[in-house]
Amino acid sequence: MIPPVVDTVWLRDHLGKVVIADVRWYLDGSPGHVEYERGHLPGARFVDLERWLSGSSHDGGGRHPLPTPEHFAEGMAALGVSDDDTVVAYDDAGGVIAARLVWMLRATGRQAALLDGGIGGFDGELETAMPTWHPAEFSVRPWPEGRLASIDDAADPANLVLDARPGERYRGEPNPADPRPGHIPGALSMPTRENLGSDGRFLPVGDLRARFAALGVDDAARVVSYCGSGVTACHALLTLEYAGLGDGRLYPGSWSDYGATDRPAELGA
């Protein structure tokens, strides 16, 4: 399996052999495809998070529930991604959005990685030309139960639950993205963006392991990761894997699901 994170040197050595995916998306509703059209990595295909990487929020399960395996397969096939392709995904936020696609692909046994540093770390010329491709065969594979956590798992004190949102949202400072302030009782704050340096690249692996160790994480087996809606929580899971700590579980509904219930919430650090 390809490592969960690759750098631009690796990407240059594999240009023409991988599918490059642009997964820019913004919490304020700004359209990611507009930025894609202004400039993207050579040959990159735009992947719409709302259309292909999320299910309908009207059916419950939070703001960005996982799509059905059938819908995900339809989207990947339409984008020309086959079961045998290797996908390298990026965004302009250090990978915290593109991680959703990478996690979904890796969880179902495909080859996929984040581009360290994202578009800002690419040292070549961007292009505005729209690439072309042919539809591909992408099989329907169920989301593996061992990689997912339920709302009960997230509330279970036997699990080590990490909140990947910014610290202020974890503490309960008002934010329009959250259904109510606070966090899941017992969850620990681990803002995923703080696993990145000022250049948007991952911190050294030793530093990442130390950050996890400070929260009692030396193995991802008991870890449940959540965020606002199950997107940046995927970045936390890829960080665990990148740091050599194994695979944790994703609570897809995250706080947008939990916070919409009458279950208890905690405030503060």
Q: Which residues are catalytic?
A: 227
Contact 65, 260 (CB under 8 A): no
CA distance 241 to 245: 5
SS3 21: strand
CA distance 20 to 90: 8
Look-up of token digits 């390298």 = 88
Q: How many CB atoms lie within 10 A of CB 141?
A: 14
Q: Which two tokens stand for residue 94?
A: 């250090």
Contact 63, 87 (CB under 8 A): no
Look-up of token digits 């309908």 = 56
Q: What angle do CA 168, 174, 177 make, to 5 degrees?
A: 90
Look-up of token digits 């995916």 = 21
Q: Which of 54, 41, 46, 51 is nearest to 12 (CA)?
A: 41
Query: In sequence order, what are the beta bridge partners of 162?
Result: 188, 225
